[in-house]
Amino acid sequence: MSAGMLCKHTLDAGFGQFLNILNHVCFKRGAYFAKVDANGTSQTCPRCQTHTGKKELSERVHKCPECGYETNRDVAAAQVVRQRGYTAVGHIAVNFGEG
């Protein structure tokens, strides 16, 4: 079902259902749930918040030209998502890659 004309729609529907279930489970357990804007997460440095520009999909390493922070591209994007989540609930953003 995830192949062919309905491929993307099916996968989007599956992910949307996952988010609905996650929202429900968080509600039942008293945990906070919120979505964050995922746009540009691979183009932002999680340490210094500098916009680093678009990366090709083949570029698997995030290397910031400003602060020199270097890590896996997906890890950097996940750190940006986490910071946006912290910011959404009023926590101070955490710097990564120290030491």
Contacting range for Zn ion; rule: CB under 5 A; set: 11-19, 32-40, 45-53, 82-90: 45-53
Q: Give the pair of three-digit tokens for residue 1.
A: 């079902």
Whether 16 contacts 33, CB under 8 Å: no
Residue 93 binds Zn ion, judged by CB under 5 A = no
CB of 19 to Zn ion, least distance (A): 30
Chosen residue from 66, 74, 88, 91 binding Zn ion by CB under 5 A: 66
CA–CA separation, 27 and 8 (whole Å): 28
Residue 47 binds Zn ion, judged by CB under 5 A = yes
Nearer to Zn ion, 10 or 84 (CB): 84
CA–CA separation, 66 and 48 (whole Å): 8
